[in-house]
Amino acid sequence: MGNPPLEKLLIQLEKLFPKYIDLSLKRLLNLLEKLNNPHLKLPPTIHIAGTNGKGSTLSFLNQILKENNYKVHCYISPHLESIEERFILSNKKITKQKLYDTLLYIKKINDEKPITFFEITTATAFYLFNKLSADFVILETGLGGRLDATNVIQQSIIDIITPISFDHKEFLGNNLKKITNEKLGIIKSSSSVIIGKQNKEILFYIKSKIKKNKNRKLFYNENFKVMNTTDKKIILTLENKILKFNIPSLIGYHQIENAAIAIAAAYEIKKLGFQLAANLINTALKKTNWPGRLEKKYLKKIPVYIDGAHNIAGAKQIGKFLEKNKKYTWIILGMLNNKDLHEFLIQIKNFISGVIAIKIPGEKNSFTTQEIFNICKKLKIKCIKQKNIKSANQYLSRSIKPERIVITGSLYLVGKVRRLFI
């Protein structure tokens, strides 16, 4: 079956969106009950929440488990280019036909009742995971944690909290403690808890919130941390043991920290009685691929780094990368207008020579090129407006000829531009 029927069905599902937007699990739980509660019959589950690094951590851990011959279901969001990316069934991405058939069935069971797109895809994931055997499930939250659709599960073996910062303020608020509360909401009483690198305020708050929990707890910079890196090795400590692993394939120091979280999770899984070989962790780190995260391409021999960063924490990581590798750099930027573009640009302004402003194709809620231009002007950043990514690339390669280009500001933008470089 071709692509159009699936696209048509996705449009129909989006029309079921509730008129009043609330973070509630009731709609999803009602649908899951009609599906015989597949979310309560999952293989051992690892649940991941946080602001940045969820997808990369999932990808590292998934690859580690696969290298050790385990079958893994994964639920990922958002996708970059096609919705099938969200559903990994026993180590394989779902086919369009399978996804179409399943979504059509779930839509029929839902019986035209209001439901969000993410809720119905989450129900689809649980339904599919229940139909095909696997050794593990890895779930990535979509928004927050406590009231995220993935949090209808009642059991998990490991709960991971990646770095927390501001994002989705319209739903989670502009208070870091409130946001942290939402993320911590995924923690189950029987799980091990792995806390990634946090700022001091957040770390202190997390400890105060979960200190009474009987969960086994691992904190970055305490139970585990990156001690050192060389060109070829990461040196970690994990509960006072020194471990050495390959540098991961993904670019950026933050990816080394994400890999450390995944390694800590792998050792927790080993403590639960599953066989995991350290040499296969090395193989996994080399093989891990996570598109749209400082992903390197080329435009007429000019290195192009594509990154879906869209919040301040993500911009800081790009800034660190640019600062470490100083070159004549221009940014192609498109961003949704509910993001803090001013603060985003502040994080990278000292490491770039200019910005090419574009509007994200097909996204009515993205900043206009004029809006981006105006903010750049306030920050005294040189800015040039272009109609689209193609004209931006042409202008840079012909007129400016930078040593490096970074395309960033939104995962929606990244998904639309990646195919131009494949």
The CATH number linked to 153 is 3.40.1190.10
Q: Beta strands 329-333 and 233-238: pairing type? A: unpaired
- pLDDT for res 31: 97
Q: Are residues 111 and 70 in the same domain?
A: yes
Residues 181, 210, single domain; the answer is yes
At residue 1, the pLDDT reads: 42
229 and 339 co-located in one domain: no
Model pLDDT, residue 21: 59
**Helix H or strand E encompassing 114:** none
Query: Residues of 226-241 as b/e, b for ≥16 C-beta within 10 angstroms?
Result: beeeeeeebebbbeee
Residues 156 and 47: beta-carbon distance below 8 Å:
yes
Domain stops at, among 287, 305, 339? 287
> What pLDDT is attached to residue 2?
47
Adjacency order of strands within the sheet including 233-238: 224-229, 233-238, 241-246
Query: pLDDT tens, 324-349?
Result: 888 999 999 999 998 999 999 999 99
User: Are 346 and 249 found together in one domain?
Assistant: no
142, 282: one domain: yes
Helix and strand element counts for the chain (H, E): 15, 17
Per residue in 154-191, pLDDT (tens digit) is 999 999 999 998 765 555 557 889 899 999 999 999 99
- Based on the domain organization, do 274 and 337 belong to the same domain? no
Closest CA to 334 of 364, 304, 294: 364
- Same domain assignment for residues 227 and 301: no
Average pLDDT over residues 46-53: 95
Domain boundary among 225, 253, 287: 287
**Neighbour count for residue 92 (Cβ, 10 Å):** 12
> In this model, does residue 252 exceed pLDDT 50?
yes
Q: pLDDT tens across 360-400, in order?
A: 988 889 999 999 999 999 999 999 999 999 999 999 999 99
Question: What's the Cα-to-Cα distance from 31 to each of 76, 109, 306, rounded to whole Å?
Answer: 20, 7, 38
Q: What is the mean pLDDT of residues 68-78?
A: 96
Torsion of the alpha carbons at 297, 302, 303 and 309, rounded to the nearest 10: -90
Q: What share of the chain is helix, strand, coil (3-state, %, to 5)?
A: 45, 20, 35
For residues 237 and 327, membership in a common domain is answered with no
Q: Is the pLDDT of residue 93 over 90?
A: yes
Residue 361's CATH number: 3.90.190.20
DSSP letter assigned to residue 157: S
Average pLDDT score, the chain: 93
Q: Which domain holds residue 102?
A: 3-287
Q: Rounded to two decimals, what is the model's pTM? A: 0.92
The pLDDT score that the predictor gives to residue 143 is 84
Ordered alpha helix ranges (H), 185-302: 200-210, 253-271, 278-287
Say which residue the tokens 């040593």 belong to.
403
Residues 72, 156 within the same domain: yes
- Check: CB of residue 295 under 8 Å from CB of residue 398: no
If you average pLDDT over residues 402-417, what whole number do you get? 93
Question: CA-CA distances (angstroms) from residue 182 to 117, 142, 198, 208?
Answer: 20, 12, 15, 15
Mean pLDDT of 43-55: 96
Contact 77, 122 (CB under 8 A): no
Spatial distance between the Cα atoms of 155 and 159, rounded to a whole number of angstroms: 10
One domain for residues 170 and 316: no
**381 and 265 assigned to the same domain:** no
Average pLDDT in the 35-52 region?
97
Work out how many domains the chain is built from and give that number.
Answer: 2
Tell me, what's the pLDDT at 181?
92
Domain's final residue, options 230, 256, 287: 287
Give the pairing type, strands 192-195 and 217-219.
parallel
Query: How buried is residue 19: exposed, middle or buried, by Cβ count under 10 Å (0-12/13-18/19+)?
Result: exposed
pLDDT at 231: 82
Q: What is the pLDDT of residue 344?
A: 96
Per-residue model confidence as pLDDT tens digits over 267-318: 999 999 999 998 999 999 999 999 999 999 998 899 999 999 999 989 999 9
What token pair was written down for 307?
């990154």
In percent, the amount of the chain with pLDDT more than 70 equals: 96
* Same domain, yes or no: 279 and 300: no
